[in-house]
Amino acid sequence: MSIERRQVKRGVVYDVRLRAPGGGQYRRTFRTRKEAENYEAQQLADLSRGGWVDPRRSVISFGEWAAQWLVRDPSKRPSSLARDESVVRIHLLPVLAKRQLASIAPSDVQRLVNVWAQTSSPRTVRRQFDVLRAIFSAAVDDDRLLRSPCRNIKLPKIEQQNRQVISAEQLAELAEKIGADWAPMIHLGAVLGMRWGECAGLRVGRLDFAKGTLFVAEQLTRARHGVMVAGPPKSAAGRRTLSVPRPLMELLAVHIVRRGLTTDDVDEYVFTMPEGGPLDYAHWRMRYWIPATKAIGLPWLTFHDLRRANATAMVSAGIDLKTAQTRLGHSDPRLTLAVYAEATSAADRDAADRVGELLMKQSATAPALAAGENAETGCAMNVPSNRRRRRRLEPRGPVTSTFSGREGGIRTRGLSVPNAAR
């Protein structure tokens, strides 16, 4: 280990030569001796603490490492891979592609986040930042960096939105506007809480008309370049058998007959594009969903809002949390309540009435005073009005408080208000 002074065309530089734990040597060059000494001290300290990272491994550019990161996880879902690839290609590579991993500091990341926040929503910014953080976390795990620069980054705050829940009347109107080919799909989303991909991936063989059940076994998702592919449901809990209301089962039977299919066509999709083939989300949304939602005056409505309406309906109907979680295919019951269970005004009024009945029926004070009676003697009080009323209620002497366990009260002349516990 040494620091050597060397003359070059642009002046004097200082080379730091160090030995790696494996026995090989590596070198870094600095413009000043002070920088070289600081680097040497830092490397020696990392070696002694056992936190040393070979600096030669961090020379790789961000673009090269991002390309390796995209294909590192073979279990990543096609839709997740397509989303990550899009974020890397559009939002990360134009800015960081040629930068070495070790040269990217937290200030660079914060500056990039601030630029995103000027044109994108807080949720979009966080989604892009999550991809960037995952790339650097993988670099730390691969011993290319000692620490990730994605630390202590200030992200825009996500404001909680109270979304409107579609009513039964609006649901019926939507099913009518979107047409007979897609009306059963609308009811699958609202009545059973199925995701769009689960509806699109539903096959005839998954319907049991004798038992009145439906088995969710797969879904269609968008892979790279917008190609639709079949795969398992979103989570392990996504594979589930759902009991179907009889009217909806009959609607599905009519739909299958209209398509010229029978229960023997087990591998056929229940819903396909008019020209044939599996549903394509982008085309289906633009050609059918958006015109229908605009026609009923709900342009903000998404297909996922139907699933949210289903969760809210189950909570409002008193369906137990475990059943609601199972029917929605959630792996965590907290997701069922925190994300999807929107409070309705009727449920809020019912909650207020029930709590008031439990906690206020024990107190006779308010009814007694409202009836103009003395709460302690039951005698009617002559409560004067206007100025005479204020003068009569003002005590002539000091207010005295007497507490005697549950029998205590706060007394003034001619008026007694007992404690609530009484």
- What is the per-residue pLDDT across 93-144, written as a single tens digit (0 to 9) for each? 999 999 998 889 999 999 999 999 999 999 999 999 999 999 999 998 887 8
Which pLDDT value is given to residue 378?
44
Mean pLDDT is lowest, of 29-38, 101-110, 172-181, for 29-38
Per-residue tokens: 400: 């005295």
pTM of the model: 0.64
- What is the per-residue pLDDT across 360-390, written as a single tens digit (0 to 9) for each? 755 444 444 444 444 444 444 444 444 444 4
pLDDT at 44 over 90: no
- Average pLDDT on 271-299 reads 93
Q: Is 102 exposed, middle or buried (0-12, 13-18, 19+ CB in 10 A)?
A: middle
- What is the per-residue pLDDT across 208-237, written as a single tens digit (0 to 9) for each? 999 999 999 999 988 777 778 888 888 777
| Cβ atoms 136, 149 nearer than 8 A | yes
CATH number, span 62-141: 1.10.150
pLDDT at 152 over 90: yes
Q: Confirm or reject CATH 3.30.590.10 for domain 168-340, answering yes or no.
A: no
Helix axes 122-141, 106-119, angle to 10 degrees: 160
Query: How far is it, in rounded angstroms, from Cα 368 to Cα 88?
Result: 70
Kindly list the distances between the CA atom of residue 115 and the CA atoms of 61, 95, 97, 134, 265, in Å, as whole numbers in the listed order.
Answer: 22, 11, 17, 20, 53
Which pLDDT value is given to residue 192?
93
Confidence band, pLDDT 50/70/90 cuts, at residue 261: very high
pLDDT at 320 over 90: no
Which pLDDT value is given to residue 6?
84
Which pLDDT value is given to residue 211?
92
pLDDT at 206 over 50: yes
Mean pLDDT is lowest, of 196-205, 256-265, 357-366, for 357-366
Q: Any idea where the domains of the chain sit in the sequence?
A: 2-52, 62-141, 168-340, 365-418
Cβ neighbors of 75 (< 8 A, separation 6 or more) are: none
pLDDT at 196 over 80: yes
